[in-house]
Amino acid sequence: MSFLTASWKKLCFVNYAIDPAILEPYVPAHTELDFFEGKCYVSLVGFLFDDVKLKGITIPFHKRFEEINLRFYVKHFDGSQWKRGTVFISEIVEKPAIAWVANTLYNEKYSVHKMHYKHDLTEEENFISYGLDLEENWQLIQVATSPEPEPYEQGSITQFITEHFWGYSYKTPTTSWEYEVRHPLWKSYKILDHEIVFDFAKLYGDDFQDLTTAQPDSIQCMDGSAISIEGKKLIKGN
């Protein structure tokens, strides 16, 4: 049985090219940074968790919630193939129990903030807003998109950002946790407009302060799907 099942909906990815040296301290053992067309990326991601179940069990008051995370991209060679995955610098939710489970069982870096989610759909556009309350100032990811999603191009930045089906996290300097994230390929909404109001330094540290005023390299909004997160595996050295 999968560790967690849910639906991930209306995923917004705000991608910034970043100096790889900033991310090197976060790279788990036995993985290496994954690049797209010579660039190293970090993504600010907002999405909706829905119909959440742990080991098939619904947790009261934790079935639906927003998440905002900051992640980057790695790959791991398991002896026969390269696996492309993500590493989370920070994940933010409004539900303390979710943060406790993820931090305790998957060695992630969840924290808890007051959050909001808004979705308005008209014939002309799809409006999506994610926010978190930081010292009484709302940090926002807001996009306006086309009303209907479409398949994305193979070899595109959208494929690179969304097709990482493994997660990796630090265990020790010589070991890492690996887990699989299963979902079908998503469809992509065309971005019409966006607004990003985020104090990266306060949330993630001074190494990321330049992102506060930087223009995103690209933005994607995906429709999402049902997903499952499988049990973790320890990766050791040879």
Q: Any idea where the domains of the chain sit in the sequence?
A: 4-235
Spatial distance between the Cα atoms of 110 and 230, rounded to a whole number of angstroms:
18
Rg (CA), the chain: 17
Residues 6-33 have pLDDT tens digits of 999 999 999 999 999 999 999 999 999 9
Query: What is the pLDDT, as a whole number, of residue 56?
Result: 76
Is residue 144's pLDDT more than 90? yes
Average pLDDT, the chain: 92
Q: With respect to CATH, is domain 4-235 assigned 2.40.400.10?
A: yes
Query: What is the pLDDT, as a whole number, of residue 110?
Result: 78
Its pTM stands at 0.93
Helices (H), 1-132: 20-23, 96-106
Residues 177-193 have pLDDT tens digits of 999 999 999 999 999 99
What does residue 138 show for φ and ψ, rounded to 5 degrees? -75, 125
- The pLDDT of 94-110, averaged and rounded, is 69
For the purposes of burial, counting CB atoms within 10 Å of the CB of 19, is it exposed (0-12), middle (13-18) or buried (19 or more)? Answer: exposed
Spatial distance between the Cα atoms of 83 and 8, rounded to a whole number of angstroms:
21
What does residue 64 show for φ and ψ, rounded to 5 degrees? -145, 130
Is residue 105's pLDDT more than 80? no
- The pLDDT of 114-141, averaged and rounded, is 93
- The pLDDT of 194-203, averaged and rounded, is 96
Spatial distance between the Cα atoms of 59 and 12, rounded to a whole number of angstroms:
26
Beta-carbon count within 10 A of 149 CB: 17
Spatial distance between the Cα atoms of 71 and 90, rounded to a whole number of angstroms:
7
Query: What is the pLDDT, as a whole number, of residue 121?
Result: 83
Residues 34-93 have pLDDT tens digits of 999 999 999 999 999 998 887 776 776 677 899 999 999 999 999 999 999 999 999 998
Residue 231 DSSP symbol: P
